[in-house]
Amino acid sequence: MPVIEFENVAYSYGGGELLSDISVKLAPGSFHFLTGPSGSGKTTLMKLCYGALLPTAGHVTLFGRDARSLDRDDIAMTRRRIGVVHQDCQFLNHMSVAENIGLPLTVSGRHAETGGDDLTELLAWVGLANRADALPPELSGGERQRAALARAVIMSPDVVLADEPTGNVDWEMSQRLLRLLIELNKMGKTVLIATHDLGLIRATKAHVQARVLRIANRRIQLAGADL
């Protein structure tokens, strides 16, 4: 069963149709890129993937359930299974990096004694162990993106969605972030990365079997081998 499925999905915004007749399935453990020009609807499609938006036509199914049928509690539980790295990652500036990353644990009611080891291990995994006590304004762009990724996966989600995660970092940091996402996929996570960086996509092909979806003329197309 797909973890996320779009069936003839359309989404209209401001009186115009942004996405039209989208049908796509994300299988458990799969790796996808979503590409297309700025304004083509990549972020909108990502929001449909975790229930932040509902389609104006068609059906979005999350873990076997129609997104329209989910009440607030269902949506909250579903989002625990989907980690999101937003394009513009926001942090609480009065809290440390570790506290920001661990915030989903606090919100879910997990106590420090059960989540503390997970947080320590995760900080080390993203290379921020020595920045645990820093405040967000003290972080570089790459450190912020790694902190955002750590926060997205602290609850061990089944799906990781990353919206332009390398848009504000240099090539070396882009590769580091990509390696982390590939590692997550090898752990069995479904990964979907929205990006306009075709070089990043090409660099991935040697390391993971990735499916490339391209938004063009409001629809999804499978990108060709020349990408």
- Least Cα distance to 193 among 152, 144, 136 occurs for 152
| pLDDT of res. 169 | 79
How do residues 188-221 score in pLDDT, each as one tens digit? 999 999 998 888 888 887 788 899 999 988 899 8
Claim to verify: residue 21 and residue 67 sit in the same structural domain: yes
Strands in 14-166 per DSSP E:
16-26, 31-35, 57-62, 65-66, 82-85, 159-163
Region 42-64 average pLDDT: 95
> What CATH number is associated with residue 168?
3.40.50.300
How far, in Å, CA of 31 to CA of 212, rounded?
A: 9
When the pLDDT of each residue in the chain is averaged and rounded to a whole number, the result is 89
Region 7-21 average pLDDT: 91
| pLDDT of res. 54 | 95
The residue out of 156, 183, 205 marking a domain boundary is 156
Give 3-state DSSP helix, strand, coil % of the chain, rounded to 5: 40, 25, 35
With contact defined as beta carbons under 8 Å apart, do 2 and 192 qualify? no
Q: Which amino acid is at 165?
A: P
Residue 16 confidence class, pLDDT cut points 50, 70, 90: confident
pTM for this prediction: 0.91
The residue out of 118, 137, 156 marking a domain boundary is 156
- Least Cα distance to 34 among 190, 206, 149 occurs for 190
Would the pLDDT of 36 be above 60? yes
Residues of the domain holding 2: 1-81+158-227
Claim to verify: residue 62 and residue 116 sit in the same structural domain: no
Residues 6 or more apart from 107 whose CB is under 8 A from it? none
How do residues 67-113 score in pLDDT, each as one tens digit? 999 998 998 889 899 999 998 889 999 999 999 999 988 877 765 44
The DSSP output letter for 86 is -
126: number of Cβ within 10 Å? 21
Would the pLDDT of 152 be above 50? yes
- Least Cα distance to 85 among 2, 172, 154, 173 occurs for 154
Region 173-201 average pLDDT: 91
